[in-house]
Structure 1
Amino acid sequence: RWMDGQKNSKSTEKLKFKPKRAPGVQPPLNSQVSTPGEMFSHFFDEKVLKLLCNNSNKYAVRNHRSGRNFAWSEITIEEMKKYLGLLLYMALLELPKVSDFWRKNTIFYVPFPSTVMSRNRFRVISSNLHISDPAEDALNDQRKGTGEHDRLHRVRPLLEIMRNRCMAFYHPKQHLSVDERMVATKARIGLKQYMKAKPTKWGLKFFVLADVNGYTVDFSLYQGKSTVSSGNGLSYDVVTSLVNKDYLGSGYVIYCDNFYTSPLLFRYLGQQGFGACGTYRQGRVGVPTTTENALNRGSPRGSIRWIREHDLLFVKWMDTREVSICTNVHPVYKGETVLRWQKTEDGKRQKLPVPRPTAVGEYNKFMGGVDTSDQMLATHSTKRRTKRWPVTVFQHFLDIAVTNSFILHKELCASRHQKPKTRQQFQEEVAASLLGVSLHSMSEHHPSEDHFPVATSQKQEKAQRASMGRRQCTVCKRSTPWQCEVCRVGLCVQLERNCFRAFPGIKS
């Protein structure tokens, strides 16, 4: 029978907090003062860079053999760092198109990117960027329609590395949330999902476990109906796979919405030593169906009803509409109130205190971890439109690495009573570190001091250099054997015309 929560406030004893590791930033990051670039490098370390370089080089060779025509030289680790640095740099400036960063002869000219690499080189790296081994891709494609086929094979290597990195460098605090995250893509693939209630309605669906501060603790990319399941439903399988007792320990409280909440799941989490709290759907299997003494449309605002079934507490509360919540860790009501606009007896409207169940207040406080994470990921995101879904996933992982690094920075600063950098300042320093330049190097000298005319080609014999390997002058459009050493654009250096001096990128 539904009981009146204002008269019955029997509480359950909270689970004791026993994490497997001390919560917060983990060694070695918490034992030394690290720059933003060093913190980011723990996520995108040499192992990740080698993976990207090796597989991208193999993919480019395969594309060449298939008949695609483009100039290619193997990507090195240093060049991959600069490529990543440019992605972060572009995310901060947010110009409409990638080509806008290499525009010339315009008031919107941005001088720095061309000093790092040419536009064509950036484009060819982007078009050949690959996460998995192309030879293994071909073998996996042959397994389509069988149980051995892996739909996530093209992103699997980086996906597993990023999951391990996220869990290794930070141990979450007591309250965690599980929710979906949509990453927009226009790729025509079966992995794409639709979620009506999300701001991004079409895209790749990630299931995410996040801390209250927005740190992405763990995640999984939904690949459609699975042949390997527990038989208890998708929501059950998602939560049990993300909430790992071997990693977390016990004593954590997991918050989720009505897609995941079920008595079966909450009892399982309780047996594993976890608290659980979430809104629920009335028709769910195991949810009490009795209507005796239940809420109805005529129930006054602030009315509380509850049913206890063994270790689970089902609470209903009347706010502007009925709110249903299930918990195995919170009491019914400890005296909390919330202000709501209501009409008084004389017809005036004023804010009055309304009783609120303890579980509702805790749910509102701690459920937003994934939403906070999504907001932070969208800030200065590296995402660019592409038809290749593995590149979309790569860009998302790059955003996770920067965001998680920034949260680690804030946590360390808080523990040391220091003022943290802003998100923009942090990403600027990460980009400068990857690019191998000082953050303020462009303001220390005039651009013209580093720009010198050099021959367009050094491969021919000395007598042939003036006639072979010529390029079109970017100013006067004539043929020239000279180019700017830094900008890598053709420029005339003649007695009757000095296009080198006239070029906007050279002028101080």
Structure 2
Amino acid sequence: MMAHTREEALQTTSDSEEEFTCSSEDDEDMEDESFHFKKRFDITKDTVCNENVAPSGAYRTRAASKRRSVFSAVDNLNQCKRDSDQMSAAKKARTLTWKAETDVDRVAQTLRFLPAREPGPHLSAADSRSPMSLFKLFFTESAVTNLCHNTNAQAVRAIANGCKYKWTDVSVDELYRYIGLIFYMASVKMSSIADYWRQDSLFSLPFPATVMPRHRYRIISWNLHMSHPDADKENDRKRGTAQHDRLFRIKPLMNTIRLACKAFYHPRRNLAVKERLVACRANIGMTAYMKAKLTKFKFFVLSDSSNGYTVDFSVYTGKNSFPADRGLSYDAVMSLLDCKVLGSGYHVYMDDFYTSHKLFTDLFALKFGACGTYRDQRKDFPKTAANSLSRSSSRGSIRWIRDGPLVCVKWMDTQVVSVCSTIHAAYTGEHVQRKIKAQDTWKAKSFPCPAPVTAYNQHMGGVDLSGQLLQYYTAQHKTMKWYRKIFLHFLDIAANNAFILYKELHGNMTHDQFMEELIAELCGASQKAAPKQFSTDHVPIPGAKLTSDVRRIASVGRRICVHCKAVHGKKLQTPWKCKACDVHLCLQLNRNCFQEWHKSL
């Protein structure tokens, strides 16, 4: 047996170089085998560590020799492993060189696109849907009812704690009007919330006061709550333990919106993953510090590159919430990509914050293609300088290395661009136009461009497009509560996705027209009614031609004042009327109906 074991060990050391080709799986197998031998044989005892076999003195010597022979095999395996690492590293150093665009590259495997559902809106295109009905897909009446219940409970608790204001329970219709006012303020910018109700300014706005009084709007804002206050108190007691949920105050509404985003629309093939930042001054351990900027809440967003629709999102809750071995960027992407919900064959684009060798290979194993810029210092990316680009390389130069399904490409533009992909070949003949200066004039010149760079520039705009749409009519404004900041961002997501659904279904309305119609429906106002026009002809004139009879001057042409009759129910007569309105109005020192009537215009 001893001779046989030594022969196996010798056979192991004499295996061909091809058996040790720098494979991580082979290395792990060797380590497992070494650990297996070390576990079975105890070095401090002269017995085999096996509970099923009781060693005896009759074969103690044979067992010891067997133990020595096995450990000799283990030592040989370890030595072979070290030798193989050195050989594979040397071999890889000889073969790992950058190739140029003239070298032919082929995609290792083309993924078939098999979505779980038909891409596009999952609503009947035959049904005519209003902006408000689409918005209610995300802010459903049941979700708003729950929001009202929690807001009323928070107001009762605040009054019990000493707040001095009168409170009446908010209803579902009133809360929709409140949301409509938030969108109105996003469309019409003023310096402060109070300015929307000012009546003594050149820039006075009459509309907000017709929806709700200023004091009512502020009280609802103070008490707006997405979770029940008693449940918040119970969750706060668990702070510092694993049972504490940092997102507890926003989860009821967040879960509703996330489900709606995935239920009513299925994305097309090209997706983009990027972070979205919401400014906030709160310091609660979930914000990301940005140099020279406010601290911000970080959202990880999955978006359809074709239209900017927010397919899914997650909220950053701190670096301690993610496993240290994989990292924040890896888990952020994996949490957004679900094969059961999306299907397979999708192409996912991301920037260098997320891109890693492990992420791309794991996504490819799940049948997701990936493409993104990468950082050269990241683990497992090529670091060889053989035939690589340098500062003196001409513009348009391309270098690439393929490692199985992953191709890493470097391209010289104004500076070196590093992109990797499991979707594309390195170079397929694409060119881009760049302006260069020659003899004091700028001329357009064509340069070769790698296929991953072209695709990245085309599709990575998905989340940026979504962010642009949100910024046009963002509901964000200053607030004291961190969860209210996220509530306002939920409004942005719902309104933006509702607009994209409307455009996909009908496509006959611009973004500003959509928001105007949505605000009118939420606030219960009529957008179709034309506002009354001011005119310089609103001046008082006599109601009848003047007579030469001095005794009848004060009585000729007197008619009932329309303002006194409508407001006070009195039939008081006046000789004055408005030239533009052609209605009789009192014009006296103690009764100026002319001024009161025109205030409402």
Q: Pick the TM interval, shorter chain.
A: 0.7 to 0.9
2:449 aligned with 1:361: no
Contact 2:281 2:294 in 1 (8 A): no
2:103 aligned with 1:15: no
Q: Distance in 2 between matches of 1:50 and 1:500?
A: 44
TM-fit CA distance, 1:201: 5.1
> 2:518 matched to which residue of 1?
430
Task: Pick closer, same or farther for the CA change 1:231–1:4 going to 2, 3 Å.
Answer: closer
Task: Pick closer, same or farther for the CA change 1:31–1:232 going to 2, 3 Å.
Answer: farther
State the AA in 1 paired with 2:147. Answer: L
SS of equivalent residue, structure 2 residue 319: coil
Q: Distance in 2 between matches of 1:75 and 1:177?
A: 39
Contact 1:24 1:172 in 2 (8 A): yes
2:244 aligned with 1:156: no
Task: Pick closer, same or farther for the CA change 1:2–1:347 going to 2, 3 Å.
Answer: farther
2:388 aligned with 1:300: no
Q: Distance in 1 between matches of 2:122 and 2:167?
A: 41
Unmatched 5+ stretches in structure 2: 1-95, 535-561, 570-585
**Greater radius of gyration (CA):** 2
> 1:225 matched to which residue of 2?
319
Task: Pick closer, same or farther for the CA change 1:227–1:337 going to 2, 3 Å.
Answer: closer
SS of equivalent residue, structure 1 residue 255: strand
The TM-score with structure 1 as length reference comes to 0.85
TM-fit CA distance, 1:320: 1.1
Task: Pick closer, same or farther for the CA change 1:497–1:349 going to 2, 3 Å.
Answer: closer
> 2:15 matched to which residue of 1?
none
- Of residues 193, 196, 220 in structure 1, which corresponds to 2:288? 193
> 1:476 matched to which residue of 2?
none
Q: Distance in 1 between matches of 2:203 and 2:592?
A: 20
- Of residues 302, 320, 332 in structure 1, which corresponds to 2:426? 332
> 1:272 matched to which residue of 2?
366
State the AA in 1 paired with 2:311. Answer: V
Contact 1:19 1:248 in 2 (8 A): yes
Q: Distance in 1 between matches of 2:368 and 2:200?
A: 62
State the AA in 2 paired with 1:400. Answer: I
Q: Distance in 2 between matches of 1:409 and 1:236?
A: 34
2:279 aligned with 1:184: yes
The residue correspondences of 1:379-398 to structure 2 (distance < 5 A) are 379-398=472-491
SS of equivalent residue, structure 1 residue 305: strand
> 1:109 matched to which residue of 2?
204
State the AA in 2 paired with 1:325. Answer: V
TM-fit CA distance, 1:343: 5.9
TM-fit CA distance, 1:443: 2.6
Q: Distance in 1 between matches of 2:568 and 2:158?
A: 32
Shifted more, 281-290 versus 391-400: the winner is: 281-290
Q: Distance in 2 between matches of 1:174 and 1:187?
A: 38
SS of equivalent residue, structure 1 residue 329: coil
Larger RCO (CA within 8 A; separation ≥ 6)? 1
Q: Distance in 2 between matches of 1:130 and 1:500?
A: 45
Q: Distance in 2 between matches of 1:501 and 1:204?
A: 54
State the AA in 1 paired with 2:163. Answer: R
- Of residues 350, 356, 370 in structure 1, which corresponds to 2:443? 350
User: What is the CA deviation profile of residues 246-276 of structure 1, one whole-angstrom value per residue up to 9, with x for unaligned ones?
Assistant: 1110111011111111110001110111100
The residue correspondences of 1:4-83 to structure 2 (distance < 5 A) are 4-12=99-107, 13-27=109-123, 29-83=124-178
Contact 1:5 1:332 in 2 (8 A): no
Shifted more, 166-175 versus 29-38: the winner is: 29-38
Q: Distance in 2 between matches of 1:339 and 1:276?
A: 26
Q: Distance in 2 between matches of 1:364 and 1:445?
A: 49
Q: Distance in 2 between matches of 1:411 and 1:334?
A: 33
The residue correspondences of 1:282-301 to structure 2 (distance < 5 A) are 282-301=376-395
Contact 2:322 2:331 in 1 (8 A): no
Q: Distance in 2 between matches of 1:382 and 1:294?
A: 48
Task: Pick closer, same or farther for the CA change 1:304–1:348 going to 2, 3 Å.
Answer: same
State the AA in 2 paired with 1:390. Answer: Y
SS of equivalent residue, structure 1 residue 220: strand
SS of equivalent residue, structure 1 residue 317: strand
User: What is the CA deviation profile of residues 457-492 of structure 1, one whole-angstrom value per residue up to 9, with x for unaligned ones?
Assistant: xxxxxxxxxxxxxxxxxxxxxxxxxxxxxxxxxxxx
The TM-score with structure 2 as length reference comes to 0.72
State the AA in 1 paired with 2:465. Answer: T
User: What is the CA deviation profile of residues 381-433 of structure 1, one whole-angstrom value per residue up to 9, with x for unaligned ones?
Assistant: 111210111111111110111111111111223xxxxx531111101111111
> 2:335 matched to which residue of 1?
241
2:242 aligned with 1:147: yes
Which of the pair is proportionally richer in helix? Answer: 2
SS of equivalent residue, structure 1 residue 441: coil
Q: Distance in 1 between matches of 2:568 and 2:282?
A: 43
User: What is the CA deviation profile of residues 96-135 of structure 1, one whole-angstrom value per residue up to 9, with x for unaligned ones?
Assistant: 2111121123332222221221111111111111111000
2:337 aligned with 1:208: no
Q: Distance in 1 between matches of 2:257 and 2:371?
A: 28
Q: Distance in 2 between matches of 1:202 and 1:153?
A: 21
Contact 2:99 2:401 in 1 (8 A): no
| Identical aligned residues as a percent | 43
Q: Distance in 2 between matches of 1:50 and 1:393?
A: 19
Task: Pick closer, same or farther for the CA change 1:296–1:31 going to 2, 3 Å.
Answer: same
- Of residues 412, 420, 437 in structure 1, which corresponds to 2:505? 412
SS of equivalent residue, structure 1 residue 427: helix
Q: Distance in 2 between matches of 1:452 and 1:115?
A: 19
Contact 1:105 1:504 in 2 (8 A): no
Task: Pick closer, same or farther for the CA change 1:504–1:335 going to 2, 3 Å.
Answer: farther
SS of equivalent residue, structure 1 residue 226: helix
TM-fit CA distance, 1:167: 1.1
TM-fit CA distance, 1:453: 5.1
> 2:187 matched to which residue of 1?
92
Q: Distance in 2 between matches of 1:224 and 1:385?
A: 23
Q: Distance in 2 between matches of 1:428 and 1:347?
A: 50
- Aligned residue pairs total 459
SS of equivalent residue, structure 2 residue 118: coil
Q: Distance in 2 between matches of 1:253 and 1:397?
A: 26
Tell me the C-alpha RMSD between the 2 structures.
Answer: 2.5
State the AA in 2 paired with 1:185. Answer: C
Contact 1:182 1:202 in 2 (8 A): no
- Of residues 258, 282, 285 in structure 1, which corresponds to 2:352? 258
